[in-house]
């Protein structure tokens, strides 16, 4: 008899996005003429840039000729890409890395969800609340949590770090000891960032407690202000305690192309039950070479083109486009009297629902009155109740139209 992994039974189901789809479909059935604008899901609307498309086409042609055909590549990714990552994404920050500390993959979702494969199931995890749900659900699947507690709207056994108006959406250090800490900055869903000093507190905590920080920097490219760290390795000591996840999905429109990377410094360690330290770089390499055969050559060639002169300009233009949307949303909402967070260094705007409406009541009101779809904050965790997420990834036209409707119809 095949037994299942019963941890999967603890998951309440994909409640958030299926519930959004259900309500939108019902609204469409009742109002077939309505012109619905979606500023809810995190997908992008700008196409791949010309330099990327050109590089991918050239790579596909190479694959069609025996002389230039490539079969299995290195599981960790091609050095032509990892060298560009080191040169362009880290060297300018004063962060030195070697190619074997870079692991190229098909997504930050894949990596954030899989990385704990090499970590013990008895580790106590800490996540911010609200949170990108993948960190929680992947740990539930791995058996690192208790059951879902309906009263709290949280899983037992996880340390939740509330991000609220009172603390400016910035998590405070845990008061009980934790072993694995997920930090995502710029943050999805709040759009907030940490300063270097704030991030240093986490690095210091991890060093003192032999904890590991899983740092998701998927939105790093959207940072506009100079004093915000782009990488956790800008903080002294972080190489000993942090792995960093990055993605081309939002930066370069790779949501459907799939390419990302994870940095695992040689110094970063975790411990066996005798207290002996083990290199996570070696363990992650062992894990990846066993379970992963690398990202396709045309996709890695396309990713490398992001770092060409033309590619850099085109990507910057995309980021500018989305951040101009973010500014429009942020300022439009503030002018309309909303309290908002984020949208300055991130493509997400986190608004406080007016009149103490619940996240879902605001969702319904926005859909019914303005025909705009956003994401209820409660879907990202208990502390997200009373908040709502809008994204800057729409087209300019739709973003402007949505704001005009919010101004006049809400
Ligand atoms: N990390 C965060 C915080 C995200 O918001 C997302 C996507 O929405 C991802 C990771 C997933 O990125 P990828 O497309 O590289 O899997």
Q: Exposure of 97 by Cβ count < 10 A (0-12 exposed, 13-18 middle, 19+ buried)?
A: buried
Evaluate: CB of 260 within 6 angstroms of ligand 1.
Answer: yes
pLDDT, tens digit, 9 for 90 and up, residues 372-381: 999 999 999 9
* 243 vs 346: CA distance, rounded Å: 21
Check if the beta carbon of residue 259 is closer than 8 Å to that of residue 302.
Answer: yes
In degrees, rounded to 5, the angle at the alpha carbon of residue 214 between the alpha carbons of residues 208 and 219 is 130
Task: Give the span between the Cα atoms of 109 and 218, in whole angstroms.
Answer: 10
Tens digits of residue pLDDT in 23-47: 999 999 999 999 999 998 789 999 9
* Most ligand 1 atoms within 8 A of CB, residue of 133, 185, 245, 249 to mutate: 249
Residue 265 near residue 124, CB atoms below 8 Å: no
How far is CA 133 from each of CA 179, 212, 215, 261, 324, rounded to the nearest angstrom?
19, 19, 15, 20, 27
Binding residues for substrate, as ranges, are 15, 42, 109, 132, 188, 293, 389
Minimum CA distance residue for ligand 1 atom 2:
218
107 Cβ below 6 A of ligand 1: yes
CA distance 86 to 74: 17
Does 108 contact ligand 1 (Cβ within 6 A)?
yes
User: From the alpha carbon of 255, which atom of ligand 1 is closest?
Assistant: 14
Distances (CA, A) of 371 to 17, 41, 92, 353: 17, 15, 44, 17
Residue 350 β-bridge partners: 341, 389
Give the whole-number percent of the chain exceeding pLDDT 70.
Answer: 100
Mean pLDDT along residues 337-357? 98
CA of 347 to the centre of ligand 1 (A): 13
Closest by CA position to 381, among listed 172, 174, 165, 162: 162
Q: What percent of the chain has pLDDT over 90?
A: 97
Distance 142 CA to ligand 1 centre (A): 20
Nearest CA to ligand 1 atom 12: 108
Interval 282-293 mean pLDDT:
97
Determine the distance separating the centroid of ligand 1 and the alpha carbon of 65, expressed in angstroms: 35
Q: Residue 372 — φ and ψ, nearest 5°?
A: -115, 135
The atom of ligand 1 lying closest to the CA of 248 is 15
Instruction: From residue 351, give the alpha-carbon distance in Å to each of 222, 370, 381.
Output: 19, 16, 15
- Ligand 1 and 249: CB distance under 6 A: yes
**Does ligand 1 come within 6 angstroms of the Cβ of 138?**
no
The CB-based long-range contact list for 267-271 (8 Å cut-off, 24+ gap) reads 267/239, 267/240, 268/212, 268/239, 268/240, 268/241, 268/242, 268/243, 269/240, 270/118, 270/119, 270/120, 270/212, 271/210
Distance CA 302, CA 57 (A): 9
What is the average pLDDT value for the chain, to the nearest integer?
A: 97
- What are the chain's domains? 9-47+310-409 (3.90.1150.10), 53-308 (3.40.640.10)
Tokens of 45: 């609307």
Distances (CA, A) of 138 to 7, 113, 116, 249, 265: 10, 5, 9, 20, 23
Which DSSP category does 117 fall into?
Answer: G
Strand partners, 10: none
Report the SS3 class of residue 310: helix
pLDDT digits (tens, 9 = 90+) for 75-129: 999 999 999 999 999 999 999 999 999 999 999 999 999 999 999 999 999 999 9
**Residue 12 pLDDT:** 83
Q: For the chain, how many residues are written?
A: 410
List residues forming the annotated binding site for pyridoxal 5'-phosphate.
72, 108-109, 132, 188, 219, 247-249, 258, 293
Contacts of 42 (CB under 8 A, 6+ apart): 188, 250, 391, 393
| Longest pairwise C-alpha distance within the chain | 67
Across residues 6-20, what is the average pLDDT? 88
């Amino acid at each position: 008899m095949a037994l299942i992994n019963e941890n999967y039974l603890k998951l309440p189901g994909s409640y958030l996005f299926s519930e959004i789809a259900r309500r939108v479909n019902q609204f469409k059935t009742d109002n077939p003429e309505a012109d619905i604008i979606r500023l809810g899901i995190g997908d992008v609307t700008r196409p791949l840039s010309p330099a990327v498309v050109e590089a991918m086409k050239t790579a596909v042609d190479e694959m069609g000729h025996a002389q230039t055909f490539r079969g299995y590549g290195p599981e960790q990714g091609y050095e032509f890409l990892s060298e560009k990552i080191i040169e362009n994404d880290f060297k300018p920050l004063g962060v030195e890395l070697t190619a074997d500390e870079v692991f190229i993959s098909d997504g930050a979702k894949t990596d954030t969800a899989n990385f704990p494969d090499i970590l013990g199931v008895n580790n106590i995890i800490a996540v911010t609340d609200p949170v990108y749900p993948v960190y929680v659900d992947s740990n539930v699947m791995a058996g690192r949590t208790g059951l879902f507690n309906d009263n709290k709207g949280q899983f037992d056994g996880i340390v939740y770090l509330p991000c609220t108006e009172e603390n400016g959406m910035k998590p405070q250090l845990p008061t009980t000891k934790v072993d694995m800490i997920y930090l995502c900055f710029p943050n999805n869903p709040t759009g907030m960032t940490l300063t270097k000093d704030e991030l240093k507190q986490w690095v210091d905590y991890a060093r003192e407690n032999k904890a590991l920080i899983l740092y998701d920097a998927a939105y790093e490219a959207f940072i506009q202000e100079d004093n915000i760290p782009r990488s956790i390795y800008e903080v002294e000591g972080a190489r000993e305690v942090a792995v960093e996840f990055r993605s081309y999905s939002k930066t370069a429109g790779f949501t459907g192309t799939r390419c990302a990377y994870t940095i695992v410094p040689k110094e970063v360690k975790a411990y066996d039950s005798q207290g002996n330290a083990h290199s996570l770089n070696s363990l992650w390499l062992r894990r990846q070479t066993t379970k992963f055969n690398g990202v396709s050559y045309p996709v890695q060639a396309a990713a490398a083109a992001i770092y060409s002169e033309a590619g850099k300009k085109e990507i910057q233009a995309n980021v500018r486009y989305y951040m101009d949307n973010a500014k429009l949303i942020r300022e439009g909402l503030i002018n309309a009297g909303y309290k908002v967070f984020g949208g300055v260094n991130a493509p997400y705007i986190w608004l406080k629902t007016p009149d103490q409406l619940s996240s879902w009541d605001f969702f319904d009101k926005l859909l019914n009155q303005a025909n705009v779809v956003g994401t209820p904050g409660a879907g990202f965790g208990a502390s997200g109740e009373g908040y709502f997420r809008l994204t800057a990834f729409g087209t300019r036209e739709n973003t402007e139209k949505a704001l005009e409707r919010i101004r006049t119809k809400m």
